[in-house]
Each structure stands twice: as C-alpha cells, then as structure tokens.
C-alpha cells in the first residue's frame, strides 16, 4: 500500500485537484474511490475520517488533509518531482490568486454540473433511498443544498446566471492566456492544476462561451494540459467522467 491515500471521486473539480497534483509529481498513491453519486462521502466510515463529509480527503503520515487547494501545496512541498509552486514570491502570490478566483467561479459551475450531469445520476436512485442518504448528511446547510441539487430545483434564471458567470470567467482566463501560455507565466503551476480540474469540460458545459471563436487562448491552454501525460493517465483510469474528458481531448486534437 502506498504511503499516500486520497479518498476522492473522479478527477473533477475539488475531487480532482490532488489527483492531478500527485500525478504531475509522479507520486504513487492509493485512490480510495468515494462515489458521491451514491453519497458515500456521508457514510459513517468516511465521516469518521472527515466529519464534514466533503471530498477529497488525503491521508499522509497519519495527517489528514481536507481542503483541496492547500492540499496541492502540501503535495508540492512534500514530494519530489517537478515543482508546481514558484520560488518567486510574486509569482507564488499570483498562483494563489488564480486559485482563489477559480474556486469562487467554480460555485457557479457547480450549479451547471449538477443540472447537467450529477443531478440526472442522483435522480436515477430510488426516491426513498435518496431521502435516506440525504437525511444522514451531517449539516443542515448541506442537506438543503444536496436536496435542492438532487431534485434539480434550480430556476431558469439561476441557470442563466450561472452560465453567464462561468462565461465571464472563461473570458478572464482567455485574456490572461493571451499573454502567457500558462496562468502565471511560461511554466505549468498549481494555478493551472486547480483551474483545469474545475474547468476542463467547458466546451461541453458552456459551448457558447468556451469555443475557438470567443476564447481561442483558453482553448489552446486546454489542449496543452489535456496533452500532458499525467492528465491523460488520470482520465484513462477514471470510472465515469473520464470518457467525457477524453472526447473533449479528441475534439481538441489530442490523441486520447
């Protein structure tokens, strides 16, 4: 067994951040699959590890880490391999700033993700079983959020607002990527890891914004990261969402 265990779902959004970071560093790790569609993150065994019932959770040297973006910095500082955090303080600040901006924009993306992908998966469950698993979610706030998402009670206005927010962020990314091939310069950093994990599927999710006509530099950046060996390896071994990602990669001209 590896000394590192990541309890996580697919290489997607928060779940994917440490998976991509570890893969980029070339670190062997155990991926303990947590199926969030089956609400396994709220099962008693998982809550004993992470009482918040969120993914991912990483365990290393008996230390438990539950915040996905800082987790990536720990990975870079702890393990050998290519550096993903710049030595220069100014560049490091910009890396963290982009990570923060991505995390904020991802809140709107989560609405679309639930509506288009996770919601239909969850609604395929038996209604009584769905109510049972939602009832065991540890906090009232998250029970309400999951119930809303599972029943797809987003209004058309909420969906339109989410698409517009994500589209605006695509334009922010495109503006920066017109200047530099990666988000803070010439080299791939955790700013790219965090942002790609959240926004790799936008050509499918918001095609009106994420396309070569409106955001050519963002699309080129996507292609560069899809082509990275660590990226392709993770998507090839994914249980469910990897096929979607590989289809996008193929459309971008990356041999999957």
Q: Are residues 153 and 93 in the same domain?
A: yes
- In this structure, what is the dihedral angle of CA atoms 141, 105, 254, 82, given to the nearest 10 degrees? -90
Residue 206 clears pLDDT 80, i.e. is over it: yes
Cα 162 from Cα 152, distance rounded (Å): 14
Domain total for the chain?
2
Residue that finishes a domain, picked among 78, 105, 134? 78
Cα 107 from Cα 84, distance rounded (Å): 24
Burial of 104 from C-beta contacts in 10 A (0-12 / 13-18 / 19+): exposed
Domain that holds residue 137: 89-252
246 lies in some domain: yes
List CB contacts of 29: < 8 A, sequence separation 6 or more. 2, 4, 5, 6, 22
Tens digits of residue pLDDT in 142-151? 788 777 767 6
Residue 182: the pLDDT is 98
Report, as an integer, the average pLDDT of 65-77: 97
Residue that finishes a domain, picked among 57, 78, 99? 78
The residue with tokens 């993700």 is: 113
Contact 6, 22 (CB under 8 A): yes
Residue 1 clears pLDDT 50, i.e. is over it: no
Residue 141: the pLDDT is 80
Q: Are residues 71 and 105 in the same domain?
A: no
Residue 66: the pLDDT is 96
Residue 33 clears pLDDT 70, i.e. is over it: yes
Residue 122 clears pLDDT 80, i.e. is over it: no
Cα 178 from Cα 173, distance rounded (Å): 9
Q: 61-70, 131-140, 211-220: which has the minimum mean pLDDT?
A: 131-140
Cα 255 from Cα 42, distance rounded (Å): 37
Report, as an integer, the average pLDDT of 102-129: 79
Residue 117: the pLDDT is 66
For residue 52, the domain's CATH number is 3.40.30.10
Residue that finishes a domain, picked among 28, 56, 78? 78
Cα–Cα distances in Å, from 118 out to 18, 208, 247?
21, 21, 18
The per-residue pLDDT of the chain, averaged, comes to 91
Tens digits of residue pLDDT in 150-160? 766 678 898 89
Q: Are residues 144 and 68 in the same domain?
A: no
Residue 25 clears pLDDT 70, i.e. is over it: yes
């Amino acid at each position: 067994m590896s000394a590192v265990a990541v309890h996580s779902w697919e290489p997607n959004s928060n779940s994917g951040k440490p998976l991509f970071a570890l893969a980029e560093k070339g670190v062997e790790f155990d991926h303990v699959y947590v199926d969030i569609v089956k609400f396994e993150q709220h099962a008693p065994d998982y809550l004993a590890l992470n009482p918040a019932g969120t993914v991912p959770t990483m365990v290393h040297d008996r230390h438990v880490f539950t915040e996905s973006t800082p987790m990536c910095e720990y990975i870079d500082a702890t393990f050998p391999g290519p550096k993903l955090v710049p030595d220069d303080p100014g560049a490091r600040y910009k890396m963290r700033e982009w990570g923060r901006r991505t995390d904020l924009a991802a809140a709107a993306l989560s609405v679309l993700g639930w509506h288009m992908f996770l919601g239909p998966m969850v609604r395929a469950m038996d209604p009584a079983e769905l109510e049972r698993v939602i009832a065991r979610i540890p906090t009232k706030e998250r029970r309400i959020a999951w119930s809303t998402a599972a029943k797809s009670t987003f209004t058309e206005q909420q969906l339109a607002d989410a698409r517009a927010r994500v589209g605006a962020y695509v334009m922010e990314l495109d503006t920066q990527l017109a200047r530099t091939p990666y988000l803070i310069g010439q080299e791939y950093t955790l700013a790219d890891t965090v942002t790609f994990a959240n926004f790799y599927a936008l050509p499918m999710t918001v095609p009106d914004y994420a396309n070569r006509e409106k955001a050519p530099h963002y699309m080129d950046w996507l292609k560069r990261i899809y082509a990275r060996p660590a990226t392709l390896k993770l998507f090839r071994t994914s249980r469910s969402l990897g096929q979607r990602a590989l289809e996008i990669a193929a459309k971008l001209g990356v041999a999957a």
